Amino acid sequence: MIKRTYAAGFIFLVLALDLSADWKQDVLGYLSPGRDYPAARAYLRENFAKIDPLEKSDALGLIAYLARMTGDDRDEQDRIVEYFETYGDTDPAFDLPDELLRRDFVTFWARWKSAYPLVTGLIFLERAGESNPSPPARLEIGLELLNGAYYKVSTSGRVLEGGLWQRGFHILKLPFSTGYDKPGNLEFNLDLKTGGMVVRKRITVEVDVRAAGPTASLPPIQAATPGRLPPPRLVEGEVSLYVGDKLILKSKKLSSKPAPIKFKIPGPSAFGTKPYLAPKKDDPMLNTVSVLDALALAYQTVKDLIRKKKAGPASPPIYQKTQQLSFSFAREGLESGEVVYRGSLSMKPSTATVLRD
């Protein structure tokens, strides 16, 4: 019995190696000199799992081509998406001895290679030199796009932005004003349209938040900066409810500390007027402008324009790439006072799929 098992395994291995070596010849037998596309496609689909992994990309590209030649647009799109999402910006081997068949295949592949909106290099971006530990108000994600396409970003059925992207590097700006204070996942959909096909790539942001200790361990509070949420709120009042010696409820009134408001109370506007009253509009003496003041204002305006022209456009922000974002914030506990929480964000993009009605 054991000898028969070994013999069967050896025969299967020989057949697998033989298929790996000869599958292209078998497919070519269906396509040259005749063009039996359905039979060649059926053979590849049936034996695809047995083909050597190093040659699967060639077989997958050929399956997409055969789907096209048999009029199966749906399967053609599915196989094209599977190819690019698995093997990236690479080409299947074009070593077909039939010249006309090879030219037809190369033309087919070039059309998809110049159209498919492959997204690669998804990564978090941080502005260089920014050290504020507060949670970010929005997430900035960089990506590379192989070919231009119309795009739409949405979450929970709500469209966040859209437009036309050209080939190259782009930055997604996703909202993050809520959801940072508890662990979980944030789901965003990136839809890319090229020709008659829409490809959806789902981006999952994993939020991990844990209590770290008392407020003393939090870095010094900094002023709010662009792209960051405001600093933790200040305590203005507290109400505690006890039954006997047991604390039942504790509530605190929290609010941001407003900036002091300074303003100067004007005096009399002109001779003969009462303080704090609007001047008379029909008095020509109140509507005049000094010639020297006008000349000084014109000179300053021209000077500012020349300075802006010499300075040139403002330089774009400098980003640094990171696989993970970290932040911290404080929350009021029931009995232990303020508690520091530390959080981290990681990204998990999924394989793109064809979006259909």
Q: Is 312 left (phi over 0), alpha (psi -120 to 50) or beta?
A: left
Q: Model confidence at 191, in pLDDT bands (50, 70, 90)? A: very high
**What is the average pLDDT value for the chain, to the nearest integer?**
76
Question: Which CATH number do you get for residue 125?
Answer: 2.60.40
Per-residue pLDDT averaged across 3-13, rounded? 40
Pair 94, 139 in one domain: no
Cα–Cα distance measured from residue 150 to residue 162, given in angstroms and rounded to the nearest whole number: 8
105 and 11 in one domain?
yes
Q: Are 61 and 158 members of one domain?
A: no
Higher pLDDT, 337 or 101: 101
CB 72 within 8 A of CB 63: no
Residue linked to tokens 């029931």: 334
Quick one: 30 and 132 in the same domain?
Answer: no
At residue 30, the pLDDT reads 92
Q: How many CB atoms lie within 10 A of CB 30?
A: 18
357 vs 100: CA distance, rounded Å: 37
**Containing structural domain, residue 162:** 119-208+345-354
pTM over 0.85: no
Judgement on whether residues 82 and 11 belong to the same structural domain of the protein: yes
Whether 162 has a pLDDT exceeding 60, the answer reads yes
Confidence of residue 256 (pLDDT cuts 50, 70, 90): very low
What is the C-alpha separation between 218 and 339, in angstroms, rounded? 9
Q: What percent of the chain lies above the pLDDT cut of 90?
A: 38
pLDDT band at 297 (very low <50, low <70, confident <90, very high): confident
Whether residues 181 and 159 fall in one domain: yes
Give CA angle at 137 (135, 139), nearest 5°: 95
Co-location of 92 and 192 in the same domain: no
Last residue of a domain, one of 94, 113, 132: 113
Say if residue 316's pLDDT is above 80.
no
96 and 21 in a single domain? The answer is yes
For residues 62 and 34, state if they share a domain.
Answer: yes
Helix-then-strand count for the chain, H and E: 6, 13
Residue 22 domain-assigned? yes
- Mean pLDDT, rounded, for 260-264: 51
User: Which pLDDT does position 43 carry in this prediction?
Assistant: 96
Give the total number of structural domains in the chain: 2
